[in-house]
Amino acid sequence: MNTDRSAHPAEWRETEGLLPPAERDLPVDRHEFHKERLMALIHDESRTTVPGAPARPREQRNWLRRPLVVVPLAAFALAGVIAGGVALSGQGGDGSAIATGPLLTTDVGTASTAGTGDLLERISLAAASKPVQGPRAGQFTYVDSVTADTYVRTEDGKSTVVSEKPHRRQVWLSPDGGKGWLIEPGDSPEGGMALDSSEEMSAAWDVLARLPKDPDALLKKIYADSEGEGNSPDQAAFSRIGDLLGDSVPPSGLEAALYKAAAKIPGVVQVDKATDAKGRHGIAVARMDKVSGEREEWIFEKNSLDFLGTRTVKAAEGQNPNAEDRLIRTGTVLHTSAVTGRAVVDGIKQTPQRAS
């Protein structure tokens, strides 16, 4: 893989700040769940600050991969934690537990750097051969997917690792990012909810269309926009590309450029076998986060090289694990998704099959 650059991307400083997410009201049961989880996160961070030990970075998540659910500020004074963008999963808005599926596990496939650059080049060429028709004014991009997460749930003082049952997720977004809609059990009320924070802008068609198609310039922009996220600049850049692949409709030429840009990120490997949230088998392009021990994978169909989805696997024990980390065994699938459809539609809640 080509990693020769005159300066490491971590030295670039071109990012702009994001506005904090908008407040939304939640049902009482879901509000209490998120309050409990936020307090647990604060406790966890406070007990990992040991003199002489490196600080443990908080995992960065946004609405793209794992939808952001904001607890109303009036509930309790945790504005700093809420604005930090922590996404939490747990109970559905109707009070029913969403973590009803069996624990998601997998065999950790063999990873290798050999041939990864060639694989990404072939994936890029395959993507470039499929032009995308963009939305007109008043239309919306639409992404239909299946997704599930695994997390540690604490009840009555006992912590266990639980997984959601794979479920449908639908996102509509206007070209300028000003209007959006999310339907996902557990992370939106029945019938869905508006997406109205500045986070949507990163997946908006107009914003994506303005991104450079030159891989070097594109990678520079990605490093700048993801500065300060994740456990390292390289992992943050890889995750940012994965977010866009899984939750947007990339304009013609951009998807191909994203793959070429990814080939320039140090530590990117290919994995011989991987399975998406719908059980479709493929090969993966991946990167290991040595701090967390998690490997993020982008999954592709072996023959067509079409993008299938993403997966995050606990591939090794991370550095300085806490009690919750130790509960999650190697081979646990922490996040899985499968893109089942991308389209341009005429309105929110409308699908390519029918208008609702």
Rounded CA separation 185/167 (Å): 7
Between CA 206 and CA 210 the distance in angstroms is: 7
Closest by alpha carbon to 241, among 58, 18, 9, 78? 9
Angle between the N-to-C axes of helices 254-262 and 215-225, in degrees from 0 to 180, rounded to the nearest 10:
80
- Condensed to tens digits (0 to 9), the pLDDT of residues 89-101 reads 334 333 334 667 7
- Token couple for 106: 């997998």
Q: Quick one: average pLDDT of 299-316?
A: 97
pLDDT band at 32 (very low <50, low <70, confident <90, very high): very low
Question: 94-128 burial, b for 16+ CB within 10 Å, e for fewer?
Answer: eeeebbeeeebbbeebebeeeebbebbeebbebbe
* pLDDT of res. 195: 86
Answer yes or no: is pLDDT of 62 > 60: no
- The pLDDT of 330-351, averaged and rounded, is 96
Q: In angstroms, rounded to a whole number, what is the distance separating the alpha carbons of residues 59 and 187?
A: 19
| Residues β-bridged to residue 311 | 297, 336
Report CA Rg, the chain.
20
More confident residue, 54 or 316: 316
Model's pTM, two decimal places? Answer: 0.74
Look-up of token digits 């919750």:
324
Kindly report the number of other CB atoms within 10 A of residue 259's CB atom.
26
Q: How confident is the model at residue 353 (pLDDT cuts 50, 70, 90)?
A: confident
Tokens matching residue 56: 């443990």
Residue keyed to tokens 């099959």: 353
Mean pLDDT value across residues 58-74: 34
pLDDT at 260: 98
Report whether 127 contacts 313 (CB < 8 A). Answer: no
Neighbours of 180 (CB within 10 A): 23
**pLDDT given at position 191:** 86
